[in-house]
Each structure stands twice: as structure tokens, then as C-alpha cells.
Amino acid sequence: MESTFKKYSKFYDLLYKDKNYLNEVDYVDKLIKYNGKNTKSVLDIGCGSGIHAELLYDKGYHVFGVDLSEEMLIEARKSAKNNNKQIEYKCQNITELNINKKFNVVTSLFHVISYLNSNKDLINTFKNINDHLFKGGLFVFDFWYGPGVLSDKPVTRIKRVEDKKISCIRLTEPTLYNDLNCVDVNFELFINEKKTNKTEIVKETHRMRYFFDQELELISDLTGFNIKKKYKWLTFDNPDFDTWYAVWVLEKN
């Protein structure tokens, strides 16, 4: 699995400035407390620019962040330093995760697991996560939920954002592969620098896999996890055909 965030990382936080990270972390905190006990340490895999990690830190967790993109981690380290937060970050592929530490909880947010397109990568990642958890530890992850994706198929979208320095238009065009259970999310960004009026075009493709219950149940069982709960993202309801994003809570057995 190669990093898909290169130049895109510079504009990532601007593109998702309307994302309610605080609400998401409040929700994850409730999931952890409802399903866990004596929870102090969190390994946040696919931590990106570190916003979730910092908000978890604010709630009293000891947080360690891992991401494949060094470009994203540069932003995460800079933010943690500026905000005087003691968060350690490491650049590593989660399919080869090895940081010689164990945690009470592993989180994987904003569909990181859906970037694992092959069964081999998925199994290796789940095994690695299990190895980094204390007995009874929790794995909390969200992902693209197959029944919802196929009921409401992805479509072309346009998003416009700006700050004091730049304006950005993002065109998103999907390509669906029924034989792979994957969607290629093709991004084309038009970034205009206001001071110089110069426009840069950035193109990236993120291949996202959507999952169904039985395959994830099998993977969880093979890699030493019990399934504690399944939810529709940001709710305590069960996932259904209207669910694009689901979140599962697994326990190391």
C-alpha cells in the first residue's frame, strides 16, 4: 500500500475544514468508554494531520499516531508542537506495523481500513493491530459499508473551499469495480494562489474498498478478535442499506 497523499496533503485540512472532528472524537470516546475499561493509551493508525489524535489527547488519552504519509506527519508534528501536546508520531505502513508497544485501544478513523484493497493487506493489518493491543483491548474502526455503497452509488461531486492564501476547487469522479468491491476516487484539484493568481492542478486517485459483514467477520475471527458492536457511523443504530459509513468495535480475545 503506497501513500496516496502527496501534494494533496498541503490542502487536506482546508478541504475538510467543515468536518466536525470534535463531534467525531466525542463519539469515539463514548464508544471506547461504553465498550472498554481502564483505558488510557490509544494508537491512532492512519492519523493523517493529527486532528483526531490531538482531540483524543485533550480527553486525557496517551496517544501515539502512525501514518504512511510523511507529508501528513509533518503537518501533525507541527500542530502538536504549536499546541504543546505530547504526541509521538511515526511514519510506517500499517500492513507492516511494528512499534514494540502495546495499547488499550487502536483507532482507525476516516475510512483508513477502506484503503486496504487486498485481503493480504487486510489480514496483515488486523494481525498487527492485535499484536499491539493488551488482552481485552479494543479496535475501533470505520469503513465504507457495502450495502449502503451499492444502494446509493458514488457520483461526481464538486467542492469549493478557500482561505486567505488560496482558493480551491476539487472535482471528484468515481469509478466502480464490481469484481474488486472497490471504488477509484479520482480527485482533480484546481488551486489558485490569490497573491500571484497562479493556478496549480493536482491529480490523485484513492482506491477505496467497501466491505460486507461476513467478510469482516471472517477476518476478525482469523486474526484473534471478537466482535463487540456494529454501528452506523456517529450513531448507536445498527448499519443498514442506508449506511455508507459503518463503525465496528472489536475486542482482542
CB of 111 within 8 A of CB of 105? no
pLDDT tens for each residue of 149-181: 999 999 999 999 999 999 999 999 999 999 999
Q: Closest by alpha carbon to 9, among 50, 64, 52?
A: 50
CB of 157 within 8 A of CB of 172? yes
Domain spans of the chain, in order of start: 7-146+210-252, 149-208
Question: pLDDT band at residue 8, thresholds of 50, 70 and 90?
Answer: low
- The grid cell for 33 is 468508554
Q: What is the pLDDT of residue 46?
A: 96
Helix (H, G, I), strand (E, B) or coil at 21: helix
Rounded Cα distance between 33 and 125, Å, is 24
Q: What is the pLDDT of residue 38?
A: 75
Question: pLDDT band at residue 231, thresholds of 50, 70 and 90?
Answer: very high
Residue 2 has pLDDT above 80, yes or no: no
Rounded Cα distance between 183 and 207, Å, is 6
Q: Closest by alpha carbon to 125, among 251, 1, 249?
A: 1
Choices 3.40.50.150, 3.30.930.10, 3.40.140.10, 1.10.10.10: CATH for 7-146+210-252: 3.40.50.150
In CATH terms, is domain 149-208 a member of 1.10.3720.10? no
What one-character-per-residue DSSP string does 24-48 give? HHHHHHHHHHHH-SS--EEEEET-T
Question: pLDDT band at residue 15, thresholds of 50, 70 and 90?
Answer: confident
DSSP code for 16: T
Rounded Cα distance between 125 and 7, Å, is 26
Residues 189-211: b if buried by 16+ CB within 10 A, e if exposed? bebeeeeeeeeeebeeebbbbbb
Q: What is the pLDDT of residue 11?
A: 73
Q: What is the pLDDT of residue 3?
A: 45
Strands annotated E in the chain = 41-45, 62-67, 88-91, 103-108, 133-145, 157-162, 166-177, 182-193, 198-211, 225-232, 245-252
Residues 69-82: b if buried by 16+ CB within 10 A, e if exposed? bebbbebbbebbee
pLDDT tens for each residue of 88-126: 999 999 999 999 999 999 999 999 999 999 999 999 999
What one-character-per-residue DSSP string does 206-240 give? EEEEEE-HHHHHHHHHHTTEEEEEEEETTSSSPP-
